[in-house]
Amino acid sequence: MSATQVAQKVSAEHLARTAYLYVRQSTLRQVQTNTESAERQYALRQRAVQLGWATEQIVVIDTDQGQSGASSADREGFQRLVADVGLGKAGIVLGLEVSRLARNNADWHRLLEICALSRTLICDEDGLYDPADFNDRLLLGLKGTMSEAELHFIRARLQGGILSKARRGELPMPLPVGLVEDSTGKVALDPDAAVQRAIAHLFDRFARTSSARAVVQAFNRDGLLFPTRIRTGERKGDLVWSPLTHSRVLRTLHNPRYAGAFAYGQRRTRKTASGKTTTRVVPREEWLLIPDAHPGYITFEQYERNLRTLAANATAYGTDRAAGPAREGTALLQGLAVCGRCGQRMTVRYHTRKGVQVPDYQCIRVNIQTAGEKCQVIQGNGVDTAISQLLLDTVTPLALEVALNVQAELEARADEADQLRKTHVQRARQRAELARRRYLAVDPDNRLVADTLEADWNDTLRALQTAQDEYERQTAAANAALTEQHKQRIRQLASDFPALWNDPATPARERKRVVRLLIEDVTLTKADQIHVHVRFRGGQTTKLTLPKALNSWQARLTPPDIPAEIDRLLDHHTDAEVAAELNQLGRRSGMKQPFTRRIVADIRHDNNLPSHHKRLRARGLLTHHEIAELLGVHPNTIHAWRRAGLLHAHRTTDKPDYLYEPPQPDDRIRKQQGRRLADRKLASSTPGGAL
Ligand SMILES: [Zn+2]
């Protein structure tokens, strides 16, 4: 481009306006390290001066440093530039590789458009452009497109590189605490024994309790801390020990890296139209997952099992409810009871009777699905008592083993906790020793350094003292809990399962866990009696039959022979008629009241007596639709025939609902029907017409 051409483009009008120098760097790292391009950008200032602008006419916009150019939405400086150009304040816009002023094509074209309208020139190291000139504008547009294409290729190359590295399991990803990269860059378990133990302890506790909350409780109870590695800042890489939280347990259990699997793509980040960044969690099926990529704390099978357990716990109240973890509450079979009618897991509902918590086992499946009656509700007390007795009776040969397991678990628990606490003390001692050596090694004349090191040494000594005190306190607590009465009690229990079972000090939760150790599930069916089908772990089964428990007011109030009497009367009468019959016989309800339809219905429900309607159906009686179909007439005709006494109908409830006896061969109705068929042949155009 010749000097005259340049001179032609710059007019007096341009020179009267301001020159804008737009300086930008796309990342913070560029701002810090790439000073060369910054220098190139500031050199453009000289160019503006050469073109005729005075130094004080040049405005430098560099507020966007450290932000990516992919969208203008969060770039204040660029927006200010666009605004000023639009207002006609700018005579020229200078920038390094102008096409990069706005990498985003839409932004770029908008700026070009505005520059063209406001007759603003554009200048970069390559030349001077007038966007109002067709040829210049074409050139600039092309540059913008090229720049965008370049950005696209860079990103694609980067993404491709990341993916192929990820596929080989070689992509460096931030590792969770407990895993480190060794000197060769391979992922390995953290060599810090305390960290390893804490993580192993978490997985172990979860395996035993199947509950994330119980893991947290166990850590807190034993005064154990959990490690975190600081990711950023001055203390990057340092370990911090803090109390374990529930979300921490969940994150640890969900992280496939602990199972030795490499995972990539668990989250996906994308830019929204407004330029903001959003992150979404990707379903597990879409991750890139490479099992056995490096050593782990658990097997991949264990990892998947843990996830299933968590899912089951989360849906413990849903319809796909699997056996949940042992929770508080007295119901022994919580999570183990299966409905004998439909095969669903039964839930537990507690209510308080005379200040005592009593459980019901209920199958609510049908209730939820059809808003009809509950599938079945069975009083828990009787069942629990029977199961207790069953365990006490049949478990005797197993008693020793169970109690020994309990004892072994208690001791293992104490041992592990002790190990963990000991390592804390050891670490504190090592640190103190290190600080002491540093202090001794320093030249005593170097007062400042010596003082600092002495202070460090003192700090580590105080930390050691605290760790030791804590260790002694916890050990004393653990021993107090285990030695003397407790150990004696455990030994007692080892030979005496009933004592363990009946000991009021045994929490309901522990009792339930003993049940879980022994019993796989219990199927409950309520019929004339309650049938209990027990499946032990290991495969043996036992059946029990229990009398049906009456509910409290019945048990106290309803005379014992009344249900049988109602059962007899229901063969021939509706609920209201049964009530009338009983009143006729001078019987009174438990509340010393005359019987009503409602009371009869309640007793019928509580005793699972089939209704009059059901009994008639069982005897083969037909609904009026069925009989209408059988006889080939309109249902309305059936009503007419019943009223005319042509059909044998029975009232089934206290509303006008009827069931019909199937017509006998010699019934008048047959003759009637014969006549009707003849009628129909004559007047076939009136189907379903009246008689
Ligand atoms: Zn059911």
Tens-digit pLDDT profile for residues 451-509? 888 888 888 888 888 888 888 877 776 655 545 565 555 555 555 677 777 777 777 77
Residue 345 CA to ligand 1 center (angstroms) comes to 8
Residue 364 CA to ligand 1 center (angstroms) comes to 7
Residue 648 CA to ligand 1 center (angstroms) comes to 37
- Cα-to-chain-centroid distance, residue 642: 60
Residue 543 CA to ligand 1 center (angstroms) comes to 19
H/E element holding 123?
A: strand 121-124
Tens-digit pLDDT profile for residues 246-255? 888 988 998 9
Tens-digit pLDDT profile for residues 612-655? 888 888 888 888 888 888 888 888 888 888 888 788 888 877 77
CA 658 to each of CA 102, 135, 459, 531: distance values in angstroms, whole numbers, following the listed order: 83, 94, 92, 35
| The pLDDT value given to residue 18 | 92
Q: Quick one: tokens of 93?
A: 């816009």
Of 20-24, 489-493, 582-586, the least confident: 489-493
Q: Measured between alpha carbons, how far is 575 from 602 in angstroms, rounded to an integer?
A: 10
**Phi/psi of residue 7, each to 5°?**
-60, -35
CA 63 to each of CA 79, 108, 242: distance values in angstroms, whole numbers, following the listed order: 11, 18, 41
Residue 342 CA to ligand 1 center (angstroms) comes to 4
Residue 322 CA to ligand 1 center (angstroms) comes to 14
Q: What is the pTM of this model?
A: 0.35
**Phi/psi of residue 321, each to 5°?**
-60, 120
Residue whose entry in the numeric block shows the structure tokens 């051409």? 5
Active site residue ranges: 26
Tens-digit pLDDT profile for residues 191-240? 888 899 999 999 999 988 888 888 888 888 888 899 988 877 777 778 88
H/E element holding 253?
A: helix 246-254
CA 279 to each of CA 93, 174, 252, 282, 456: distance values in angstroms, whole numbers, following the listed order: 36, 17, 20, 9, 43
